Structure 1
């Protein structure tokens, strides 16, 4: 018990040591994470209950990525021109609050399409959020910041069983409607309160002054940053890992809960067990192991994380209905939770540490643009794959995480040679 208390105290000590902006942002993040983690579990199943076809779920995912693709190049320009704080305030309201309210009243594919279009603008405030979170921080401090971010998000996921209880008591449709409405209201509160207590980062203040003459509408800096990525082999490899990791995530998560319901025949209220287990394992891992890992070789840690996610995806492929399959899915969830925690804690930190302050916004913007470019057709492809074979999307997810594992192995070897 003393050891547990000591480890928890270390987590809170790490939280206190991170920069003030990151600390204030993460304090408010549960207002987003808790209701979002609850409603997103059943969102795809809810849409099918409202008349959306299986292939249309994949189409919505493709449209979401198309909007993110179109808007991503403008994200770096906007945050450098108007500042991280202002873009975050306006962007979060449009892409999350309006999305939630429209999702609440949606009764057909067309309404969910409109909600998706608003939600697709998320890349712009996402960039502002990421920059506010980790600018003015040291390299190792950024690993701690992302670890605390994962910790906060998984505290939100611990409320997933509550969603299961609501579904069991009121039905999936009523429970989802109620939670998405609460989500929209709480995000409204969050974005206003966060705007009032945070400060513009020092990098953001400098770039706003430099771009105040309005010349930043040109894409020359964006294109220069793209060339910079291509010339830097280590940076290029980590960008590829971020892109392919996101592709794998879409293949796996777009139809995972539907597969649990339709393929493995789990009852609706049982599905919430998996995100709960995921969160518990993640919190334990962050408390007891992440403090020891943040000073290790970041590339090697990310390689191990991708390897664990690959093993997890493989287990989904071999799981079948019944008790053995259920146990395999539990093991898969444990492996994925650890692997994804390592991935989110180290990937963005490696990316942020690989570029200087002047180029960081555009490099992040380009990485998000490429993520959307490669991910855009994946939702529709996943829909067609799921129609052909319920296991095919998870086979492709396994392939792409394996590619990420190989790329990180190469990056580790390059670092050793240097």
Structure 2
């Protein structure tokens, strides 16, 4: 609680309530490919669903800035969460076909709107020097809920993958709804959100969209934003390629569902250590230099995954934990670097624009991953190692061009 004392109301209350979302989302997102496979979907179908979700997300992302500005950060977050999380949770709970999963993917894709509104609701009123800490705490909480995955794994071992995850999806629909309404009662519109609503209130929908596009067109006028945007886009592309990691560990390296349930637990241990021991030391570095270190760690992990012996649980957990730690640090400093370069006016539009570009470039990633994985699982992770190397090179370039001496 002491770590939250100097944070404004929105950030503090959002952090306190985040576990009520993550306790369901973390294990369900982790086991999602396994769940889809258990009801009969092929690797190609799973990849197509991923690309379908990204394609629809692109449409919703284009609307995220105008909707957030017109409706407000707070109201958009409430209604967006109910549509993009509560509704698909219940669809997933009863899904038995590709069509049902496609409907759930379409609903969940609308979370691209709430992704903008929620991020701004949480972070806009936070001082820049505290933003990396807020992102780190939120990421830590989400990762920490991975401790539940072994319990879910034990239940799956006794009752089966499909019935266990159906029950968890249904419970998640109820639990998340409670959390969304509660958080809405404890947060308030941000200062920038009030100003944006006043500015966009008199504009029609098309006028609001044109205004947002005008803000995006001026992206080059904000120093460093283009480079950080490129880094952001490539990390999202890498995340989509990595969706098949659990299937690679299970099908190719022959680890059981119970063994795979320990992966998030190891990730939690590494994340806690990074938060307690590494983040305080990296705080003295410029954000872009911290990104170089995190991506070097990610490249080492991506290459090491190719050499994990089949069935060697200890080695697998060590390598996957290394990758999880790199992802945690990358997301923390990537988001801090991006928000540091967003202006107070037009932040919703520019943040939405960055995510839109990320989606546009990542639409083929899931389908590509599915096709490559079906042809050769190991080839997919060679590709992931290559993208990791490219990210490291981009991080080095950003660090060399960053004129600021401190984070």
Post-superposition shift, 1:416?
5.3
2:230 to 240, 263, 276: 240
- Change in Cα spacing, 1:15 to 1:337, as seen in structure 2 (3 Å) is farther
Aligned to 2:25: 36
Q: Is the 8 A contact 1:95 1:118 kept in 2?
A: yes
Post-superposition shift, 1:417?
9.9
Aligned to 2:220: 230
Post-superposition shift, 1:233?
5.6
- Change in Cα spacing, 1:263 to 1:220, as seen in structure 2 (3 Å) is same
Aligned to 1:214: 203
52-61 or 402-411, which moves further after superposition? 402-411
Aligned to 1:16: 5
* Per-residue Cα deviation, 1:52-73 (whole angstroms, up to 9, x for no partner): 1110000000000001111111
Post-superposition shift, 1:386?
0.6
**1:35-184 mapped onto 2 (5 Å cutoff):** 35-184=24-173
Q: Secondary structure at the match of 2:377?
A: coil
Aligned to 1:292: 281
Post-superposition shift, 1:231?
4.6
- Change in Cα spacing, 1:222 to 1:403, as seen in structure 2 (3 Å) is farther
* Per-residue Cα deviation, 1:97-131 (whole angstroms, up to 9, x for no partner): 11100001111111111111101111001111100
1:26 correspondence with 2:15: yes
TM-score for both structures, normalised by structure 1: 0.93
Q: Is the 8 A contact 1:15 1:148 kept in 2?
A: no
93-102 or 390-399, which moves further after superposition? 390-399
TM-score for both structures, normalised by structure 2: 0.95
Q: Is the 8 A contact 2:132 2:333 kept in 1?
A: yes
Aligned to 1:269: 258
Post-superposition shift, 1:249?
1.1
* Per-residue Cα deviation, 1:200-248 (whole angstroms, up to 9, x for no partner): 1111011111111134633333333333333546211111111111111
Aligned to 1:9: none
Aligned to 2:240: 250
2:366 to 379, 402, 416: 379
Aligned to 1:351: 338
- Change in Cα spacing, 1:50 to 1:13, as seen in structure 2 (3 Å) is same
C-alpha separation between the residues in 1 aligned to 2:224 and 2:309?
Answer: 40
Q: Secondary structure at the match of 1:85?
A: helix
Q: Is the 8 A contact 2:255 2:311 kept in 1?
A: no
Q: Is the 8 A contact 2:222 2:341 kept in 1?
A: no
- Change in Cα spacing, 1:288 to 1:166, as seen in structure 2 (3 Å) is same
RMSD after superposition: 1.6
Post-superposition shift, 1:95?
0.6
Q: Secondary structure at the match of 1:239?
A: helix
Aligned to 2:294: 305
Aligned to 1:412: 399
Q: Secondary structure at the match of 2:5?
A: helix
* Per-residue Cα deviation, 1:264-294 (whole angstroms, up to 9, x for no partner): 1111111011111001110121122223322
C-alpha separation between the residues in 1 aligned to 2:31 and 2:220?
Answer: 40
- Extract structure 1 runs of 4+ deviating beyond 6 A: none
* Per-residue Cα deviation, 1:333-391 (whole angstroms, up to 9, x for no partner): 23223212221211111111112111211111011111110111111111110111001
Consecutive unaligned residues of structure 2, counting only runs of 5 or more, are none
Consecutive unaligned residues of structure 1, counting only runs of 5 or more, are 1-11
